[in-house]
Amino acid sequence: MIVDGHIHAGYWSPRMFLGRGTSFEAMEACLTECGIDGAILTSTDQRDNHSVAAFIAGSNTKKYWFFPWVKPGVEDDLAYIRENRAVIHGIKLHPSCDKIKVTDVKAEPFLRFAADEGLPVMVHCGRWQEMSSYRFALEAAARYPEARFILSHMGGDTPELEMGTIRGITGGGLDNVSLGIEGVREYWAVQKAVDELGAEKVVFGSDFPLGHPRMYMGLVDALKLAPGQKRLILGGNALRLVGEE
Ligand SMILES: [Zn+2]
């Protein structure tokens, strides 16, 4: 089973990515074209989690797993994940868009909830080191060893940040951290992650509709992988993280 581990279902606000977005139908058509069987869906900076949940509830052609985008400090978002626990499979935090570090005290109730409920936490990691550094995400992972973290963009989409993330995970002995490959150009950094952390810690994702799944399926194709490793990266790891295996 091939699973896209990182899709933004819906439209970004005009100030982000030129307001780029996708209808649910166009998203599903793209997945079908790519031979993808399912996907982890989150929202955009508009945090229209209700629409994503409604789409998933009404969908029967593919498997979808829902990671609502939550903003630390917003009581409604905390209430939302508590009330909708039955239909969520993880949570998504975006420190850059929401301007709240994952180590901020406001994020604690969300991380506590994920840890208690066994839900994975997907954390956007980017170049803005004061806000969305992989270091903060690793700090949170160390603080909540019972929660599983997925660091988007392999900890930040530059060679230095990707390598720093791999070193931080091995140096910290962190067993609860996986890396998403969406947005990464350095295929060799992904190979390094496979070699150093193991294929079971690398998760295929596209960031659709910002990226296209074929871009990252191509990246995975370029790696030196055993068939079992490739299956893990393209779907097995995502399935395990959402509790399907
Ligand atoms: Zn993203």
CATH number of residue 42's parent domain: 3.20.20.140
State pLDDT tens for residues 101-153: 999 999 999 999 999 999 999 999 999 999 999 999 999 999 999 999 999 99
**Helix (H, G, I), strand (E, B), or coil: what is residue 87?**
helix
Tell me the CA–centroid distance for residue 17 and ligand 1, in Å. Answer: 11
The whole-number average pLDDT for the span 16-39 is 97
Ligand 1 centroid–CA 88 distance in Å is 18
Is pLDDT of 231 > 90?
yes
Burial 181-200 (b: 16+ CB within 10 A, else e): bbbbebbebbbbbbeebebe
CA of 45 to the centre of ligand 1 (A): 10
Say yes or no to pLDDT of 245 above 80.
Answer: no
What is the pLDDT at residue 242? Answer: 97
Distance from C-alpha of 71 to C-alpha of 207, rounded to nearest angstrom: 19
Centre of ligand 1 from the C-alpha of residue 222, in Å:
22
- Ligand 1 geometric centre to CA of 19 (Å): 14
Determine the average pLDDT of the residues in 179-193. Answer: 98
CA distance 65 to 239: 9
Residue 5, both tokens = 């581990």
Average pLDDT value for residue range 83-98: 97
Task: Please calculate the CA angle 161-64-71 and round it to the nearest 5 degrees.
Answer: 55
Query: 122 with 67: CB under 8 angstroms?
Result: yes
* pLDDT band at residue 233 under the 50/70/90 scheme: very high
| Per-residue model confidence (pLDDT) at position 123 | 98
Rounded distance between C-alpha atoms, residue 55 and residue 10, angstroms: 10
Q: Provide, rounded to the nearest whole percent, the portion of the chain with pLDDT above 70.
A: 100
Q: What are residue 66's DSSP bridge partners?
A: 41
The Cα–Cα gap between 235 and 4 comes to 7
Domain that holds residue 13: 3-241
Instruction: Report residue 221's pLDDT band, with 50, 70 and 90 as the boundaries.
Output: very high
pLDDT at 73: 97
Distance 198 CA to ligand 1 centre (A): 23
Q: How far is the CA of 44 from the centre of ligand 1 (A)?
A: 8
Domain count, the chain: 1
pLDDT at 179 over 90: yes
Share of the chain above pLDDT 90, in %: 100
Task: Yes or no: say if 194 and 202 are a contact pair by the CB < 8 Å rule.
Answer: yes
The rounded Å distance from CA 171 to ligand 1 centre is 26
What is the Å distance from ligand 1's center to 207 Cα? Answer: 5
Query: Could you tell me the distance, in angstroms and rounded to a whole number, from the CA of residue 6 to the centre of ligand 1?
Result: 6
Distance (Å) from CA 112 to ligand 1 centroid: 23
- CA 218–ligand 1 middle distance (angstroms): 18
- Whether the ω angle into residue 159 lies within 30 degrees of 0, i.e. cis, is no
Report residue 43's pLDDT band, with 50, 70 and 90 as the boundaries: very high
Q: What is the pLDDT of residue 213?
A: 98
